[in-house]
Every structure is written in structure tokens, then in C-alpha cells.
Structure 1
């Protein structure tokens, strides 16, 4: 079994209730509106990885990211091997710097959080991920092969 560790961060403005949303270009079938994030690298802590990914994708320096939940995608990869992608979901209102609105992943914009939750062009997993950010659940296990989703 192969395991890939990933992260995502909901960067939000406490005053305006807006969140930083990435309109991700097609990449591994995960295109659409999402939050910034990426893979955890060797010898890197989870928190360091989310701080680094936020900087790489947004040019913002985030602080005090809070771990709020986990999403796991379990599936048979293109090599026929069973794989789990484990996403650690963070959020923070603590950021500084100048936002870069476009990067290799796509376009970034500030969107009202309640409006974002109603948009139909989210990445496939965002409706499930938003349940975690809204504190309705703390974990999602998505068996992609079986098209089965479990909530905890």
C-alpha cells in the first residue's frame, strides 16, 4: 500500500468573513475551487508543510495553523497499487504579506465563505471537506473505488 500525505489550509479574514479560494487548473482530476495546499515532503512536519505550501501558492506567510480534521481518499492508483492520500486540513486567520493572484496551480481570490459553500464549480471533494471546516464532522474516509464515503 502506498500512502501520500497532503495538506490544505483555509485562510480567512475574521472581519470580512472571506476565504482565500484557489480555482485549480486540471491536475490529477482535482480541478475546481478549493483551498491552497499540497504534499508533505520528506523530513517535514505537517505544520511546516502547510506553512510552506501556503507561501508557495499564495505568497502569504501564515501563522498558527489549526488542525481541524482529516480526509482520506483510498483508491487503486494507475499502477494497480492500493493507495491512500491523507489530507490534513488546517485553518488560520493569521496571515501577512502580499497575495499573488495567479500561480502554477491556478487563480486565487477572496470569496465570502457562505457564498463559496453554494458554488457549483468546487473540486469534487470540497463539499465533504467543508463539513469538516464547519465542524459538522472531523474526518472523511472516501473509498473512491467503491464510491463510498464514511463520516466520523
Structure 2
């Protein structure tokens, strides 16, 4: 079994959120800042580092909202993404960061934007009480997201 750990951190400012307009490689769309957790850092430290690298902002007081994972049974791969949200941030946005242009988007308009499937599916849960766990099975034949299950706590 191969495990890979990632994080996202939704930055909320009143009725808007900061999303990256990612337009490189096959994973295009608006996404929250985040990325791979480096060993041996904690998941929260990884989220804080990734936000700074991708946006220039310093975030604090992250609230855990849940996780989603991609499961590829054929390759025995499991990508686990820990999702956080915060309203506590400071700093100035980077110009031309590598992962995509940081853009403030009205929360009620965000779902109309092109997003990666997991981002679109998990987006509403980030603003609700409790946590979520989403499991997305990779459809090998179609080479895309397949069966999705969601559990709420």
C-alpha cells in the first residue's frame, strides 16, 4: 500500500475565499492553496507552509474540516488530503506564484467556477458544522474519478 499525504487550507475573509486559478498540467481549475506534506512535518505545519509558498500569506488558527482521499485499487495507492479552513491570516499576496493566480472569490459564486472534482464535491462541507470524510475511487478504465462516498460527523 502506498500512502501520500496532502493538505488544503481554505482562507475565508467575510463572504469570500481565496482560490488559486491552477492552469498547468491535467489538474486544472480553481483550488484552495495546499500541497504535499513533507516528512516529518505535521499536517497543520504542512498546510501553513504550503499556503505561504503558494500565496505569500501567513495563516494561523487552522480548523480541521475533514479529509478526502483518492483510492486506486489497481496500484494500491491512497492519496489522503487533509482539509482546513481559517479566517486568521496576514501578509500580501504573491505576484505570479507557481501554482496559479490567487483570486478572492465570493463564496456563493465559487461553485460556478471550473474546479477539480474533489474540490467541487468537498467545497460545501468546509462551511458546515462538523467534519467530513470523502472517499473517491479512481476509475482505471475511464482514467478519472469514479465512485464517491461521503461520511459526515
Global fold match (TM > 0.5): yes
Distance 2:54 2:109 in 1: 22
Report the count of equivalent residues: 145
Distance 2:38 2:23 in 1: 22
- Name the SS for the 2:117 alignment partner: coil
- Name the SS for the 1:102 alignment partner: coil
Q: Which runs of 5+ in 2 are unaligned?
A: 141-145
- Name the SS for the 1:41 alignment partner: coil
Is 1:23 aligned with 2:17? Answer: no
Q: TM-score, normalised by structure 2?
A: 0.88
Is 1:93 aligned with 2:87? Answer: yes
Is 1:63 aligned with 2:60? Answer: yes
- Identify the match of residue 124 of structure 1 among 117, 129, 137: 117
Q: TM-score, normalised by structure 1?
A: 0.89
Q: Aligned residue for 1:44?
A: 41
Please tell me the root mean square deviation across aligned C-alpha atoms, in Å: 1.6
Q: Is the 8 A contact 1:30 1:124 kept in 2?
A: no
Q: Which segments of structure 1 move beyond 6 Å, counting only runs of 4 or more?
A: none
Deviations 1:23-61 (A, max 9, x none): 11233x321111100000011001100000000000000
